Amino acid sequence: MENLKGSNNSWGLVAKLFHWIVAIFILLQIFFGINLHFMNPSSTKGDLIHYHKIFGTLIILVIFLRLAWKFYNPSPSHNKLSFLHKIGSKIVHILLYLLIIILPIQGMFLTWAAGSDVLLLGLIKLPRLMRRIYLMRNT
């Protein structure tokens, strides 16, 4: 049975689970997001947006738990890699983390811009970080 914690030569079960849970959740969100884009306004679309937001805030929580786990646990050593390889993988990892953090946060700003509140897991109201944006339509 694999160790829960990481070591010098393994990520450990918990880190692997975090990895795949975040990957699958984000792919599901993209799939539902793209579907939302093509749906006409309806109560079904409203429901889907509601669940999209709950799921999106869950993803942020899981990402922060994952980061906390990463910082407090050993990960496999990269000593055998070349300098360029190490720097390249560091930059790509940082960019990927930024991307998965910015993605749900931009969804939250989209919600505030539309004048709605963001509820963490659909339960806890988060403070609004921007005001509603009123769009002028030339029709």
Establish if 84 lies at the interface with ligand HEM (CB under 6 A).
Answer: no
Are the C-beta atoms of 9 and 77 separated by less than 8 Å?
yes
Q: Tell the smallest beta-carbon distance from residue 43 to ligand HEM (Å).
A: 14
Considering only 4-12, 52-60, 64-72, 78-86, which stretch makes contact with ligand HEM by CB under 6 A? Answer: 52-60
Size of residue set near ligand HEM by CB under 6 A: 20
Q: Does 112 bind ligand HEM (CB under 6 A)?
A: no
| Cα–Cα separations (whole angstroms), residue 8 to 12, 78, 87, 131 | 10, 9, 19, 48
Helix (H) / strand (E) element for 125: namely: strand 124-125
H or E element: which one contains 14? helix 13-38
Per-residue contact string for residues 14-33; x = within reach of ligand HEM by CB under 6 A: ------------x--xx--x
What would the DSSP string read from start to end of 91-108? HHHHHHHHHHHHHHHHHH
User: For ligand HEM, which residue has the nearest CB?
Assistant: 33
Residues that bind ligand HEM (CB under 6 A): 26, 29-30, 33-34, 36-37, 49, 52-53, 56-57, 59, 103-104, 107-108, 110-111, 118
